Amino acid sequence: MPNPKTGTVTMDVRRAVEEIKAGKVEFRVDKAGVVHVPIGKVSFEPQQLLDNASALAASVIKAKPAAAKGRYVRSVTVSSTMGPGVPVDTASVEAEAKA
């Protein structure tokens, strides 16, 4: 549903459309701490998917609250819309996000 908090309801339609076309993606965390966000499409090259995943991991790690203690990223799983999930090594994700 359209929501002013997420930027889907705005008086500046031109800017909103430009941001979406440029690839703006917002993510939220549900109550269980799970982040669901697309990182690409089937038509993307593997390097584009890797770049998007790295940018997502970096922004999630950057958004870590100061009060959060311990491991912030416990597991990472990548899947297509209706496909099975493929587990990803969290150490490699954290290392890629820091690079």
Nearest in space to 80 (alpha carbons), one of 49, 59, 55: 49
How high is the pLDDT of residue 7? 67
How large is the average pLDDT for residues 2-13? 76
Q: What pLDDT digit, counting tens, does each position of 66-84 carry?
A: 888 888 888 889 998 889 9
Q: What pLDDT digit, counting tens, does each position of 11-65 carry?
A: 888 887 887 777 777 777 788 888 888 888 889 899 998 888 888 888 888 888 8
Q: Which residues of 51-73 are buried (b: 16+ CB within 10 A; e: fewer)?
A: ebbbebbbebeeeeeeeeeeeeb
How large is the average pLDDT for residues 78-98? 86
Q: Which residues, including other chains, have CB under 8 Å from residue 41's CB and lie 6 or more apart?
A: none
Q: Which residues, including other chains, have CB under 8 Å from residue 93's CB and lie 6 or more apart?
A: 53, 57, 73, 76
